[in-house]
A and B are shown apart, each in its own frame.
Chain A
Amino acid sequence: MGFGEIMGGVGVMKSLFWMTKTLGKNFFRDRQSLFSSLAVPLVFLLIFGFMYAEQTTGPREPVLGVYADESFTDLDIINEVFQNNRGLRFAYYEEKGDIERSVVNRETSFGLVLEQTELTFLFNPILIQQNAHFEEMARGIKASFERAKAGVSDVIVIERTTLTLPGQEGFSPLEYILPGTIAIAVVSSGLFAITGVYLTFLEKGVLRRMAATPLRKEIFFLGLIFTRLVVAVFGAGLIILVGRIIFNFTPTINLTFFIPYVMVSTLLMMALGVLITLVFKKRENANQFAGFLVTVMIFFSGIYLPVEFLPDYLQQISRFLPLTHVASGLRGTMGIEPLVFSEYFLNIAGMLIISTFLLIFVAWRSKWGENRF
């Protein structure tokens, strides 16, 4: 390698360093981008984090409304049964209408109406994710009534155990959504880097002015990529930190695999952003479509809502969404799910190939003048 080539290489590295630094400063000065990339995922984490804390286990102290009609044949065992269920709080109502109102107004978590030889589980339909838990409690109380009445005890006892897979430590439903939230941040960061930053520069004529300088297009794109990779890793760290402070999340993160996966996922989403710009020429439209895509992916990727609730034909959509695979990979590197190395490396390789190809394509074909390609 000759002296000229070496100096040329040093020059390129210097350009790349300054480009990355400039774009990095631009990112932190652009509060809109900063907010979209960092604050929005945090907002999601806080909202859904607190929601999951209550909805998956039920309220910390559910209050059961109880109404016993005089016709109920086992009035004498009511006290015995409720005394044996000391973990629950009961509120007794004299009138049936009162217990219904209490359930509607959410003064009580659910109601038990005891009439003749029947126990009615009265539930509020809008407590969608808690009602299964409440029904289980109601059926348990019904079983207690029957046992007490017959003077028998359980024959079959159920042991509920949770499976912790090798390489995992125990985690809660809250911790399950943390990698998904990081995945959303990665996806947003990568996608909007192209549909937002790149197209903004293009439309404002910044790139046209850069084209008049010796700066090479490839340097600009590399700078953009490096900036976003750093932002993605920073955003992931911020989400983990907030999760630790507020929700006491303590996942076991394998940094050796976690950081590269965050970076390659960001690259993949930038590549997806490139595809979007091939269709939508205006920044506003590209951004709107990117936002629409992120919304679709959030719902269909199973991060906050189980896709099993969807009809079968819609569940298949989940397999084709990048966010599903990004979230799954991150769960593996954070100890939430087992990390299968062959799958990990295959995913990384696949994402890297697709994203490199697309990004090189846009860097090569893009013209920094009026016409895009």
Chain B
Amino acid sequence: MKPEFMVFRMFLFRLLRDKFALFWTLIFPMFLLGILVLFFGNLTGEQMPFEARIALVDEDRGEISEVMVDVMKTISAEEGSWLLIEIYSDLEMAKEKLGEGIHHAVFRIPGGFSGDVMANVGGQFMRREELPNARIEILSREGIQISGIAATAMEQVVEVFNSELFLETGLMLPEDRIGFKTEMVQIEPGEVSTFNYVNYIVPGIILMAFIMAGLDELVTNLTSPRDKGILRRFFATPLKSRQYIWGLLFYICLISLLQLLIIYWFGRLVFSAQINLLSPLPLFFTVYSLLVLLGVGLLISTLAKNADAAGRIGNIIFYPMMFLGGLYFPIEGMPFFIRIISEVNPVTYLVNGLRDSLGVFPSSTSMEANILIPGLWLIVGLVGGIKRFRWDSAK
């Protein structure tokens, strides 16, 4: 039996014997995919991503404020409505509930609201210069993102009410109205956008699995046996170092392929992802990504003096590579030194290239950059590894 195959078999059997490691390797990417789709999947649509719980305080109880309250009750009563209102007579009680997190925002109609509305409308008809404004107060919790979103949604409700008021009173004619439409940017010119967050995230998860292959599997299986003297014992046999590394690479490629298939089929069956990895360009980027990340892993193994150091370097690189590579969400508006990390990160270009080639989303970097910059990492990793990697541990 060929030595490379024996090495491959050794790693494979070791994984199969360790049931938890097998579970972790194959299931974790699925888990991450599921989590991200559940969190972000409904944020890209036009509907509110959550049910906004609003405390409504009508201190006015006038004609106009009651209309407003009725409108909100109607919206709230609809099945599957994004709005859930609870009416309070006391503002302090409503604020208390807001502070406890029971509600996301407080919507307050102060006393005199209806009178101010009528005075304002009357004044506008008479072209008066000084007009009282009818105020609505929307309170949100400071620093709480969800509270801010709920308050913004309520602002839009008021804006709609404002517009309807203009029409009802005749201040604005129907022909003065401007329609408002939201539209996702078109990915392909002339086509209706079919952006789907699942299609967007699946390539990111695939690359995350490849990062783990390069930075964890390869690094650990090169540096740890070296430090323990296992490789020295291996190479006292007829086994050559190149045979060992080929066997290891075959093993890593098999595991990566398994992970890719699991991610792909999980995304397709559970979340209806529609991507075609078998087309030439996506296939190229998939294979290329794995090679580049293995090159990075080889570079780390070369630079690190021992397994501990390799683990630390891998950890230092792993999180920034993932989060600053745009795998899960785009990196926007970062300070200069964070942007630099993103721009030298090979993952940034690999994921852009893969997404663009799949037709999921156009790349914000050129196709040349998507190939050349990761290619530099691959070359440095290979050349550095071939020339400088030591098969004996440092003395």
Contacts and interface: CB of A to CB of B under 8 A. Distances in A.
Contact of B312 (A32, A126, A143): A32
B280 interface: no
Contact of B364 (A47, A105, A135): A105
B362 A121 contact: no
B146 A306 contact: yes
A50 B185 contact: no
A111 interface: yes
Interface string B46-74: 00011100000000000000000000000
Contacts of B257: none
A66 B263 CA distance: 40
A14 interface: no
A57 B152 CA distance: 12
A100 B141 contact: no
Contact of A50 (B18, B51, B135, B335): B335
B39 A310 contact: yes
B80 interface: no
A170 B162 contact: no
B182 interface: yes
Interface string A59-86: 1100000000000001000000000000
A363 interface: no
A214 interface: no
Contact of A159 (B32, B135, B156): B135
Interface string A296-315: 10010000011011110010
Interface stretch (A259-267, A283-291, A351-359): A283-291
A119 interface: yes
Contact of A285 (B20, B146, B155, B184): B20
* Contact-residue bracket for chain A: 35 or more
Nearest to B175: A117
A175 to B, nearest CB: 6
B35 interface: yes
Contacts of A103: 185
Contact of B333 (A59, A150, A165): A59
A154 B162 contact: yes
A31 B142 CA distance: 39
Given A105-B364, A123-B184, A289-B20, A158 B143 contact: no
Interface string B109-150: 000000001001100100000010111111111111110110
Contact of A172 (B28, B32, B143): B143
Contact of B142 (A122, A159, A171): A171
A161 interface: yes
A44 interface: yes
> Size range of the interface on B?
35 or more
Contacts of A31: 308-309, 312
B184 A146 contact: no
B21 A336 contact: no
Contact of B138 (A111, A138, A161, A311): A161
Contact of B185 (A104, A152, A161, A282): A104
A150 B125 CA distance: 12
Nearest to A47: B323
B152 A136 contact: yes
B181 A121 contact: yes
A198 interface: no
B3 interface: no
A158 B155 contact: yes
Interface string B181-216: 111111101000101010010000000000000000
A40 B136 contact: no
Interface string B144-171: 1110110110011011011101100001
B320 interface: yes
B44 interface: yes
B39 A156 contact: no
A253 interface: no
Contacts of B152: 132-133, 136
Interface string A137-157: 011001101100110111111
A120 interface: yes
Most buried by B among A120, A172, A338: A120
A252 interface: no
B344 interface: no
A126 B139 contact: no
A120 B332 contact: no
B319 interface: yes
Nearest to A142: B180
A153 B124 CA distance: 8
B103 to A, nearest CB: 10
A127 interface: yes
A143 B159 contact: yes
Given A106-B332, A163-B139, A150 B38 contact: no
B124 to A, nearest CB: 6
A118 B146 contact: no
B142 A156 contact: no
Given A50-B338, A155-B117, A158-B158, A127 B330 contact: yes
A164 B158 CA distance: 24
A168 to B, nearest CB: 8
Nearest to B323: A47
B312 A54 contact: no
B334 interface: yes
Interface of A: 31-32, 35-36, 39-40, 43-44, 46-47, 50-51, 53-56, 59-60, 74, 97, 100, 103-106, 111, 113, 117-133, 135-136, 138-139, 142-143, 145-146, 149-150, 152-165, 168, 170-173, 175-176, 280, 282, 284-285, 288-289, 292, 295-296, 299, 305-306, 308-311, 314, 336, 338
14 contacts: A97-B189, A100-B185, A125-B197, A126-B200, A135-B182, A145-B178, A146-B178, A150-B172, A155-B121, A155-B124, A156-B117, A160-B140, A161-B140, A171-B143
Q: Which 5 A-B pairs have the closest CB atoms?
A: A54-B333, A118-B179, A162-B142, A308-B50, A150-B172
Given A32-B308, A35-B312, 4 more contacts: A155-B162, A156-B134, A163-B141, A308-B49
